[in-house]
Amino acid sequence: MAEERRPVPAAPGPGGPSEGRRRRHPWRENLETLSVAVVLALTLKVYAVEAYKIPTGSMQPTLMGSDEAGIYDRILVDKLVYQFREPKRWEVVVFRFPLDLLKNYVKRIVGVGPEWIRIENGDIYRREDEKHEWEIVRKPRTVQEAVWKEVWSGPREGEDPFRSWRKESGTWTSDGERILAQGEGRIRYAPRRGDAIRDVYTDGYSPRVAQMVGRRPRPERSDLRDLRVSAEVRAEADFAGLRMEIQAGPDTFEAFFPGPASGEAKGSLRRSLAGNGEGEATALEGARLEAGRTLRVSLAHVDGAVEVEFGGRRFRSEGSEDPDRKDFGRGNRVSIEAKGGKASLSDLRLERDIHYTKDGGVTSEFIPAGRYFMLGDNTQNSADSRAWESITVILDEPIDGRTELRGNFRADPNYAEANPREIPRSGEPVHLFTDYLGETFRLRSRMSGPRAPEPYVRREHILGRALVVFWPVWPLAPELRWKLIR
């Protein structure tokens, strides 16, 4: 047998094969791994996904930044999506504040230029130009479901539900979990007798957090038009039917669900606007209660539309609402009426929509192309497009060749971010002014100058879309905050 000859390896030398196989020092491997991780993290942060902390309450309760509750949501922001498409109305976005570009804000897009935008009676209206009529802007379903705020979702432990739902007629009882109807009768939501349902600051918060953020007195402003009432209904064989009704000013919206003892085969939806007589009725096919079966039913008036849910099916009637009408009126009313026989209502809820207000005096604005109008979900306490205002300071002496400075105007001298602001000192006080680039200047004299509204955000200043709240988690906070942001 021939002898097998194997090649003899060459003697190691500089750059030879054995040098590449030399054992690396652990510190070098760790350093390389850490370097790659840092590069990847920075790349993701700049181009793809970045985490932000919510410091203020302008988007509450959607996003929390509450000193009172000690909750500061952390969110992940998709910075890649707007490389492939334009931002859309109703999306929650992070952007550079146009009057101080070193600060990042988070708000909801409400207006997209070019268009006119208008806030009226808690709703948003738009039109292409002054030749067109105003049309109400409706939220997509996923957004609307996310922004409903609970007004009432059941009594507190040991509380009588009829403290909030007043018995107007008939026999109504409660077993602690359900409201029981016997015969004909009506109940109405009225936690304070005679009061309308108003824009209360703590609506939409969990009970524990509401108690924390509600320690400071808050304004209760507008009578609400956009409301939803819902319940799990179980009818007995002798039940004749259930009627839900929402009144908003002089307008009435009602849904009727016939019961097993009713002669009617289908339900009905009616909207009666002021001055329009009996109003328009729509048949609800299949919306009939069955004996012994529990079904979820609801009636909602939101963004000029009326919507009914019956056992998972939805019926919708849309109408046009003129923001210039003079008879919107004040006051509201939510009631439930039993038409005879026995039925039970469980998981009874009353919710309301975001009620946009005109703080800052905004009635209507033209948004140029490539600009966006931003509002906070916490419309009672949000520094947003309604109130942004610039001030231009004319300098007595040029600074770096500049004869004037432009920046955000915040007048409150007790506010930490007031601009311009004065710092008291022994002798001559120091005057500070921060311009829109985030640079702070010390000036000798008190500053004043022309002011102007600055309500728009440029396309290039939008950094990304808010995706998800990933922090805080219980028990490190009063509640679990994980959720998708709609």
> What is the C-alpha separation between 380 and 356, in angstroms, rounded?
8
Question: What's the mean pLDDT in 343-362?
Answer: 89
Question: What's the mean pLDDT in 398-420?
Answer: 82
Q: Which among 337, 352, 367 is the end of a domain?
A: 352
- 17 versus 359: the higher-pLDDT residue is 359
Neighbouring CB atoms inside 10 A of 374's CB total 26
Residue 302 falls inside a structural domain: yes
Residue 19 falls inside a structural domain: no
Residue 471 falls inside a structural domain: yes
Half-sphere CA count of 484, side-chain side, radius 13 A: 6
Q: Are residues 409 and 466 in the same domain?
A: no
- 212 versus 245: the higher-pLDDT residue is 245
What's the pLDDT at 26? 62
Residue 8 falls inside a structural domain: no
Long-range CB contacts for residues 180-184, cutoff 8 Å, separation at least 24: 180/342, 180/343, 180/344, 180/345, 181/239, 181/338, 181/342, 181/343, 181/344, 181/345, 182/342, 183/338, 183/340, 183/341, 184/337, 184/338, 184/339, 184/340
pLDDT above 70 covers a percentage of the chain that reads 85
**Spatial CB neighbours of 390, under 8 Å, sequence gap ≥ 6:** 99, 406, 407, 408, 409, 436, 451, 452, 453, 454
Q: Are residues 189 and 259 in the same domain?
A: yes
> What is the pTM for the complete model shown?
0.86
Residue 121 has pLDDT above 50, yes or no: yes
> What is the C-alpha separation between 288 and 301, in angstroms, rounded?
21
Q: Are residues 282 and 393 in the same domain?
A: no
Q: Are residues 205 and 253 in the same domain?
A: yes
Question: What's the mean pLDDT in 6-30?
Answer: 51
Q: Are residues 261 and 208 in the same domain?
A: yes
Residue 130 falls inside a structural domain: no
Nearest to 107 by CA among 481, 473, 470, 461: 461
Sign of CA dihedral 322, 326, 332, 334: negative
Q: Which of 332-336, 348-352, 400-404 has the lowest mean pLDDT?
A: 400-404
> What is the C-alpha separation between 411 and 359, in angstroms, rounded?
16
pLDDT above 90 covers a percentage of the chain that reads 58
Residue 22 falls inside a structural domain: no
Q: Are residues 395 and 474 in the same domain?
A: no
Query: Would you place residue 55 in the very low, low, confident or very high pLDDT band (cuts 50, 70, 90)?
Result: very high
Q: Are residues 106 and 233 in the same domain?
A: no
Residue 29 falls inside a structural domain: no
What's the pLDDT at 113? 96
What's the pLDDT at 38? 53
- 228 versus 7: the higher-pLDDT residue is 228
User: In the chain, how many domains are there?
Assistant: 3
pLDDT tens-digit series, residues 280-313: 788 999 999 999 999 999 999 999 999 999 999 9
Question: 98 exposed, middle or buried (CB, 10 Å; 0-12, 13-18, 19+)?
Answer: buried
CATH number of the domain that residue 300 is part of? 2.60.120.560
What's the pLDDT at 28? 63
Distance of CA 118 to the CA centre of its chain: 18
Query: Would you place residue 193 in the very low, low, confident or very high pLDDT band (cuts 50, 70, 90)?
Result: low
Q: Are residues 319 and 224 in the same domain?
A: yes
Q: Are residues 241 and 309 in the same domain?
A: yes
Average pLDDT, the chain: 86
Q: Are residues 378 and 394 in the same domain?
A: no
Q: Which among 307, 331, 352 is the end of a domain?
A: 352
Give, in order, the Cα–Cα distances in Å from 326 to each of 35, 224, 274, 465: 66, 17, 11, 38
Residue 438 falls inside a structural domain: yes
> What is the C-alpha separation between 463 and 103, in angstroms, rounded?
12
CATH number of the domain that residue 473 is part of? 2.10.109.10
> What is the C-alpha separation between 308 and 151, in angstroms, rounded?
19
What's the pLDDT at 34? 58
User: What secondary structure letter does DSSP report for 43?
Assistant: H
> What is the C-alpha separation between 379 and 366, in angstroms, rounded?
20
Domain range for 365 is 50-124+359-382+458-484
Residue 184 has pLDDT above 50, yes or no: yes
Q: Are residues 346 and 439 in the same domain?
A: no
Q: Are residues 79 and 200 in the same domain?
A: no
Coil, helix or strand at residue 461: helix
Residue 29 corresponds to which tokens in the numbers above?
């491997």
Residue 50 has pLDDT above 50, yes or no: yes
What's the pLDDT at 35? 57
What's the pLDDT at 431? 83
